[in-house]
């Protein structure tokens, strides 16, 4: 039993190490050890194994690590025809061309949202959305959409989050979710970052379950509160068409 616990702990630590690379493309032992709260010698042993298996690559000149080819091999198998990030890309590009702003696709992962696809605006001044970004569920248009149509347990977990910001009133947040269910879309205006605005609508699969959140975002200089409201029905229509393409 003790050996099994040690094995599980080693796997957990190795996965924690790999997740560190969501915050930087190249990391040193000190950075990784500090990020996950482990001693450098422990991290070094785990990195050696990950390097031998091809999950990380060490730069001999800088002594820093980056993700290895095994990661890309795994991601290639993920991107199949039934993957929403691949399946919905043409429709996202059409929506970008129609509205002129950055289009993103989000999935809920626990009490976070994960951007799994993005089509950047072609305008000179634009909001750049990084694929793979992990964001909290308590703020932002897409976050509110994913919570509004989720089970009550998800809402409670978000409300109970230790990271809940004191600046966000929980009663107002819950009231917003009710409005979103009536309107069919959500908006945010400088909620998560200054100068940015967004509008989001849920994508339902053929069984009526929320599969993802579709979002359009850009600078507040172009996306006024009125413009966000105008974009709402457009996103609902686009999300409805995308939902017909997703297998339950």
User: What is the C-alpha separation between 177 and 186, in angstroms, rounded?
Assistant: 8
Residue 4 confidence (pLDDT): 60
Express each pLDDT in 37-64 by its tens digit.
999 999 999 999 999 999 999 998 899 9
Residues of the chain with pLDDT under 70: 1-6, 24, 75-82, 247-248
Express each pLDDT in 169-200 by its tens digit.
999 999 999 999 999 999 999 988 889 999 99
Give yes or no for a contact between 105 and 201, defined as CB atoms under 8 angstroms apart: no
Global pTM?
0.71
Residue 80 confidence (pLDDT): 54
């Amino acid at each position: 039993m003790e050996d099994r616990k040690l094995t599980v702990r080693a796997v957990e630590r190795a996965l924690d190490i790999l997740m560190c690379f969501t915050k930087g493309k190249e990391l040193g032992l000190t950075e990784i050890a500090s990020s996950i709260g482990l001693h450098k010698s422990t991290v070094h042993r785990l990195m050696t194994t990950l390097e031998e298996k091809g999950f990380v690559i060490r730069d001999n000149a800088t002594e820093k690590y980056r993700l290895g080819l095994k990661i890309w091999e795994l991601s290639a198998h993920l991107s199949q025809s039934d993957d929403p990030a691949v399946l919905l890309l043409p429709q996202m590009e059409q929506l970008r061309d129609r509205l002129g702003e950055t289009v993103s696709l989000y999935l809920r992962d626990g009490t976070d949202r994960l951007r799994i696809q993005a089509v950047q605006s072609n305008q000179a001044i634009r909001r750049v959305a990084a694929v793979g970004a992990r964001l909290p569920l308590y703020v932002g248009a897409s976050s509110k959409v994913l919570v509004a149509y989720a089970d009550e347990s998800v809402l409670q977990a978000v409300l109970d989050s230790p990271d809940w910001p004191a600046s966000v009133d929980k009663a107002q947040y819950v009231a917003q979710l009710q409005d979103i269910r009536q309107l069919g879309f959500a908006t945010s205006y400088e909620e998560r970052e200054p100068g940015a605005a967004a509008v989001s609508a849920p994508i339902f699969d053929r069984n009526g379950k929320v599969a993802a959140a579709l979002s359009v975002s850009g600078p507040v200089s172009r996306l006024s509160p009125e413009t966000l409201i105008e974009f709402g029905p457009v996103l609902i229509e686009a999300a409805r068409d995308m939902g017909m393409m997703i297998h339950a």
